[in-house]
Amino acid sequence: MTLKIHIAEEGAPYEQVRAQIAEQARSGALPVGYRLPTVRGLAESLGLAPNTVAKAYRALETDGVIETRGRNGTFVAAAGSAAEREAAGAAAAYAERVHRLGLTEAEGLAAAREALRAAYAK
């Protein structure tokens, strides 16, 4: 696993850790079942505070990218299907809300595209 943290960049260090691990898990660079370093070990290797790495790990676990197995460690989970299910649920809730607001399908799609553009531009 290779991570590079750029303190001068806009993104918070924990977000950089979270995004890089998530991307490597999605791309297969970190295969399902890969054991991640301990919070303390990764923090030391990256020159970060342990709380920073712990915050990234908590976010990744919430997103279903990793799973903690008690004292056995933290592992890459089968994130693709969990992430897709969560995205589908969020999309369904959004579609229902847009419909209740009386917007057309085209207006709802335009709003979603703009929100995605803004999120990925960060």
Confidence class of residue 37 from pLDDT cuts 50, 70 and 90?
A: very high
Kindly state the DSSP code that residue 50 receives in the 8-state scheme.
H
Give residue-wise pLDDT tens across range 52-74: 999 999 999 988 889 998 889 99
Q: Report which secondary-structure segment, H or E, holds 94.
A: helix 79-101
Give residue-wise pLDDT tens across range 11-25: 889 999 999 999 898
pTM, two decimals, is 0.65
Mean pLDDT, the chain, rounded, equals 88
Confidence class of residue 86 from pLDDT cuts 50, 70 and 90?
A: confident
Rg over CA atoms, the chain: 17
